[in-house]
Amino acid sequence: MAVKILEIVGTFFPNNCISCGKKLSPRRFLCDFCEDVIRGPLPFSFSLGKFTARSYWWYEPPVSEIIKAYKFNKRWRLSRLMAQWLFTLLDSCLPAAGTDFSIIPIPTTFRALRERGFDSNGLILHQLRKIANYEVTDALIAIKSGLPQSSLTKEERKRAVEEKFALKTGRLPDKIILFDDVITTGSTITYCAKLLKDAGVKELKILSIARAK
């Protein structure tokens, strides 16, 4: 009976693989083939300046297609899938039971908030907290909308990042996981990491869903 209902729903609301477009049953995001490409978490860490980072997978299809559909195409339900990926990554380095690390998201800038209408990292962490009991602290705020980074020189880009984020007042946790969905150059997240370290954070790890090659 349930299969029959899903078939009927599928006729009226066709569902396709977000990455390759293949027809899918309702409620799925990726076909078996695309799903099989993702084998996270990546089993190694990498350096970002003075900091160490880990990512769930590479920023390439199908993961990049998932992230784009989530951020720019209003596919908010994908936050659950990414929360699951983040959970697997966290669990491989810091199991929730007994961890005293608090997760701090890179905040969505005003410009992105206006364009997308929602806080993408915030929603992933909201879904994560339905899976496991990690503490989330909104310690950073976006203070100014930067220009698109691709149009800037290296020096301008550095300044744009510095003008974009600041620390909220209040006590910071001693141990922090700084989280962003994608790490490309790493300039945003290392700047935020430095802000937190300079403010007295003792231990800091960087995690992301995807990392650009």
State the Cα angle at 137 between 134 and 143, rounded to 5°: 145
CB 208 → Zn ion: shortest distance, Å?
A: 23
* Strand pairing report for 51-58 and 203-211: parallel
Instruction: State whether residue 212 is helix, strand or coil.
Output: coil
Residue 34 binding Zn ion, by CB under 5 A: yes
Residue that is written with structure tokens 């990554």 in the block:
89
Residue 31 binding Zn ion, by CB under 5 A: yes
Q: Which stretch binds Zn ion (CB under 5 A): 27-35, 115-123, 137-145, 197-205?
A: 27-35
CB neighbours (10 Å) of residue 167? 15
CB 80 → Zn ion: shortest distance, Å?
A: 18
Q: Which stretch binds Zn ion (CB under 5 A): 11-19, 117-125, 166-174, 198-206?
A: 11-19
CB 23 → Zn ion: shortest distance, Å?
A: 10
Q: Which stretch binds Zn ion (CB under 5 A): 21-29, 44-52, 101-109, 135-143?
A: 21-29
Residue that is written with structure tokens 């007994």 in the block:
98
Q: Please select the residue that binds Zn ion; options are 6, 10, 15, 20, rule is CB under 5 A.
A: 20
- Our CB check for Zn ion shows the closer of 22 and 114 to be 22
Q: How far is CA 171 from CA 128, 140, 180, 203, in A?
A: 23, 12, 21, 15
Distance CA 59, CA 81 (A): 15
Residue 189 binding Zn ion, by CB under 5 A: no
- Our CB check for Zn ion shows the closer of 34 and 182 to be 34
User: What DSSP state is assigned to residue 150?
Assistant: G
Amino acid at the residue 75: R
Contacts with Zn ion, residue ranges (CB under 5 A): 17, 19-20, 22, 31, 34
